[in-house]
Chains A and B, each alone.
Chain A
Amino acid sequence: MSRPVELPRWMELGLMPLINLALALAVCSAVLAVVGLPPQQVFTMLLKGAFGSAAGWSYTLFYATTFVFTGLAVAVAFHGGLFNVGGEGQAMIGGLGCALIALSVGEQLATDLAAIVVLPMMVVAAMLGGALWAAVPAVLLAWRGSHLVITTIMFNFVASSLLAGLLVGPLKAPGSMMVETVAFPLSARMPGMHQMLQRFGVDWPRTPLNLTLLIALAAAIAVGLYLTRSRLGYELRTVGFSSDAARYAGIQPDRHRVMSLLIAGALAGLVGINELAGAQHRLLLDFVLGAGFTGIAVSLIGRNHPLGIVLASILFGGLYQGGAELAFELPGFSRDMVTTLQGLIVLFSGAMAMVSAPLLGWILNRVGSRDG
């Protein structure tokens, strides 16, 4: 019933995401109306909460940092033709990895100058943890043809159990009722943005925003370079578009698929640096909190492009921050409104992309023929 529609490139990259976002917002507004909350007021307050103050911006960017990592994790896999739904689990194990370093090496070198040594080790550990968690489903896919989406979802649950098991057992902070580790030593803490800015004499509110933001931006640039400028990136994209053409060109599709998943896992693992080394300063159970799934929405609406992902991450970061503010100020508003919007975005830009694109094409044709 639907024929694939050829839309001009600028439309596909620029207009479609906006239209899909608009559709999602429209449905959200309907939900808000049903619930008795005035949509316009809600959106205004949301924007203000997210972008209306330095503190708001900082929280927004803090969340955005996490989403950049999980969004890139989904995008890299998409370019290889794969759907990485395992960002949650990969982030969890990445966090575990960096926590293990923090609590071992970090404890040994506990001064904050030692951070120069400890933090990079934690970054590597986070990336290794995430990559490891992606490796098993990746290898199973390449070797046994196991369905990637299901194995990665299963691994999300296993990661959750693993983390829980470790946190109520061996890793638990002694003498505490909370399910978390002891606080990280000073060497294992990522400097907060307010701290850094203070060194330059700028007074900045104290928020979880930390230097990991720079790592996120670097990661986005690195992924962009990898995809567009490197030979491996070219080969991966070819595999994603046509594994036949890839084989013709002497490329081995399976190798690239596994590689892309390892990179994706490593990227997701970096969430641990932002959330744990940067904000919480200890390992706890719920630090990923659905960021893996937000990454899917971010990647879809960012058209799997690093720049789009950064922008979409800021959008979602703003939604989360604005949503948190709204939850305080507006009775009857729940942060899950943001989750709903997220789901709707995935729905319109992912699953129903085949619906909105032809519709747009049809409208264009009508407009075009009237002008012509």
Chain B
Amino acid sequence: MDDAQWLSLLVSTFRVSAPLVFCALAGLLSERAGVIDLGLEGKMLLSAFAAGAAGAFTGSLTAALGAALLVGFALSMLHGFACVTHRGDQVVLGIALTMTAAGLSVVLAVAWFGQGGQTPPLPNTLRFLPLWFGQNFLVYLALGLVPVIWFFLFRTTIGLRLRATGENPAMVEAAGLSVTLLRYGALAINGLLCGLAGSYLVLAQGANFSPHMTAGRGYMALAAMIFGKWHPVGALGACLLFGFLDAAAIRLQGVSVSLPGLADPLSVVEIPVQAIQALPYLMTVILLAGFVGHARAPAALGIPK
């Protein structure tokens, strides 16, 4: 590959990673506070739809963005209501949110726009166009949020309290603080970030919503978060890695690799694109098996107080 190809690969990497970064940061905040978030996929999906629909209806970028943020926020508040206030099963809720969001987004899309569940393509005035180095504003926002979230979690006292909530909520309560409030706060930001992820898909990467467009990115973001050991910078690194693999997958299609030591015709093997697509998921499993470093989740993760 020559320099131009490498450069284009790099540009693609960042472009593809951006929604993952938003989601991974969202999941990170929630889980650091002790609440499992398996609904990232659903929150992102429904927010994407909201952005596409609002954009089509109002013709305003602000409205589209606002709609996405609102939907993400609302879903996270539902998450809080079921899991924090009423101590419901966090895992089941995440799955429920994703299933419902998947169905609801298509139902509304079909009803309001026809076209098999797609929202109409938005004109460029309603999108985030590439600014510098082929990246749009939201990409820079995603990258910029990483140090911000880092600072919030590790350099502010609220961040300390939030992290403590995920480690030992009993201690936080005994210190006179409200675990409920802290968790809702984390979920609020989580919802907004998922909204940004969803709006990215429709207002930057593509130009409209189509059914199931998130394609498992929410789970990849979760995997990236675990791979990044629940740390903003680690999560960013993992997201970039996944993004790189995704971008490379298309380019590696059709590329052959020679395996020394094997007789023809096995000695030259075409790398199936599916193998590369499966790589992030396999890597996550390997990580969870504890073979690559030690992934230590927040101690009180998933335990409702």
The answer on direct contact between A and B (beta carbons under 8 Å) is yes
Asked whether any CB of chain B lies closer than 8 Å to the CB of A37, the reply is: yes
Do residues B89 and A157 form an inter-chain contact, with CB atoms below 8 A? Answer: no
B219 near A337: Cβ-Cβ < 8 Å: no
Contacts of A240 in B (CB 8 A): none
Q: Kindly identify which residue among B87, B90, B222, B285 contacts A2, using a CB–CB cutoff of 8 Å.
A: B87
Please judge, given known A-B contacts A351-B89, A352-B82, A352-B86, whether A140 and B111 are in contact too, CB under 8 Å.
no
Q: If A164-B274, A351-B92 touch, does A151 touch B219 (CB 8 Å cutoff)?
A: no
Q: Is B102 in the interface zone, CB < 8 Å from A?
A: yes
Contact with B along A132-150 (1 / 0, CB 8 A): 0000110010001111011
A340 at the B interface (CB under 8 A): yes
Residue from the list B89, B100, B108, B288 in contact with A343, Cβ < 8 A: B100
B275 lies within 8 A of chain A by Cβ: yes
Contact B95 A346 (CB under 8 A): yes
Mark contacts of A329-372 with chain B using CB atoms, 8 A cut-off: 1 yes-contact digit, 0 otherwise. 00011101111111110110011111100000000000000000
Asked if A154 contacts B282 (CB within 8 A), the reply is yes
Contacts of B117 in A (CB 8 A): 334, 336
A120 at the interface (CB under 8 A from B): no
Contact A157 B86 (CB under 8 A): no
Q: Tally A residues with Cβ within 8 Å of B.
A: 54
Which chain A residues border B223 with CB–CB below 8 Å? 150, 154
Of the candidates A83, A158, A343, the one whose C-beta lies within 8 Å of that of B278 is: A158
The reply to whether the CB of B59 lies closer than 8 angstroms to some CB of chain A is no
Q: A293-B99, A343-B99, A343-B101 in contact; A169/B111 too (CB < 8 A)?
A: no
Taken together as a complex, chains A and B put the C-alpha atoms of A227 and B281 apart, in Å, by 33
Question: What's the minimum C-beta distance from B122 to chain A, rounded to whole angstroms?
Answer: 22
Q: Which residues of B contact A346 (CB under 8 A)?
A: 92, 95-96, 99-100
State whether A149 touches B275 (Cβ < 8 A). no
Residues of chain A with a CB closer than 8 A to B100's CB: 340, 343-344, 346-347
Partner of B103, one of A35, A144, A336: A336
Within the assembled complex, what's the spacing in Å between the Cα atoms of A169 and B219?
27
Query: Does B277 have its Cβ within 8 Å of any Cβ on chain A?
Result: yes
Contact: B88 with A293, CB < 8 Å?
A: no
Do most interface residues of chain A lie in helix, strand or loop, or is the interface mixed? helix
Shortest beta-carbon distance from B20 to chain A in Å: 14
By the criterion CB–CB under 8 Å, are A85 and B285 in contact? Answer: no
Contact of A347 among B38, B93, B106 (CB under 8 A): B93
- Residues in A neighbouring B170, C-beta threshold 8 A: none
- A136-B285 Cα distance, complex, nearest whole Å: 10
Nearest CB on B from A75, distance (A)? 14
Q: Do B87 and A354 have beta carbons less than 8 Å apart?
A: yes
CA distance A196 to B164 in the complex (A): 64
Is the beta-carbon distance between A351 and B278 smaller than 8 angstroms? no
Q: Chain A contacts of B92 at CB under 8 A?
A: 83, 296, 300, 346, 350-351
Contact B110 A334 (CB under 8 A): yes
- Given contacts A2-B86, A153-B219, A161-B277, A339 and B288 within 8 Å (CB-CB): no
Which residues of B in the span 61-115 have a Cβ within 8 Å of any Cβ on A? 81-83, 85-93, 95-108, 110-112, 114
B23 CB to closest chain A CB, in angstroms? 14
The answer to whether A150 and B222 have CB atoms under 8 Å apart is yes
Task: Determine whether A165 belongs to the interface, using a CB cutoff of 8 Å to chain B.
Answer: yes
In Å, the complex CA distance between A332 and B216 comes to 27
Show 6 A/B contacts (Cβ-Cβ < 8 Å), sorted by A: A153-B219, A336-B117, A347-B96, A351-B96, A352-B93, A354-B82
A binding-site residues for B, Cβ under 8 Å:
1-2, 31, 34-37, 83, 85, 136-137, 140, 144-147, 149-151, 153-155, 157-158, 161-162, 164-165, 168-169, 293, 296-297, 300, 332-334, 336-344, 346-347, 350-355
